[in-house]
Amino acid sequence: MSNQQLSIGELLLSLDSSELQEAELVRAAVNQQLSSDRGGAVLSSLVEEHHHKPLLEKLNEALSRSGSRLPAVTLLGHMIRKQPPWVHTVSRSPLLCSLLRHLKVQT
């Protein structure tokens, strides 16, 4: 799979793949895009106003697994720094409660 041939939306749809290798390739492609100079534009195209809820739910699920906790927090940090129009919803989502709970346990 070439990340240049697929749109960001198609990449995100591939994240639910049952193949671990496919999911890892998608994750690497998304991380590469987020770390590029176009990170803000990519983030905005990834998550429209009404599409942020599934992303926050997936991040919340990732926080519950110790192996994916650091990447989830890293992605959340990227999103908050880019300040998408829906960033205010993070404070009202179950994701924040999960994050705070895990931070209390880890420290």
What is the tens place of the pLDDT at every residue in 5-29? 456 566 666 666 677 777 777 777 7
- Indicate the pLDDT class of residue 101, thresholds 50, 70 and 90: very high
| Structure tokens belonging to residue 22 | 């496919």
Express as a percent the part of the chain with pLDDT over 70. Answer: 63
pLDDT tens for each residue of 84-99: 888 888 999 999 999 9
Phi, psi (degrees; rounded to nearest 5) at 25: -65, -40
Overall size of the chain counted in residues: 107
Determine the Cα–Cα distance for residues 40 and 35; give it in Å rounded to an integer.
9
Determine the Cα–Cα distance for residues 99 and 32; give it in Å rounded to an integer.
24
Phi, psi (degrees; rounded to nearest 5) at 93: -100, 160
pTM (two decimals): 0.56
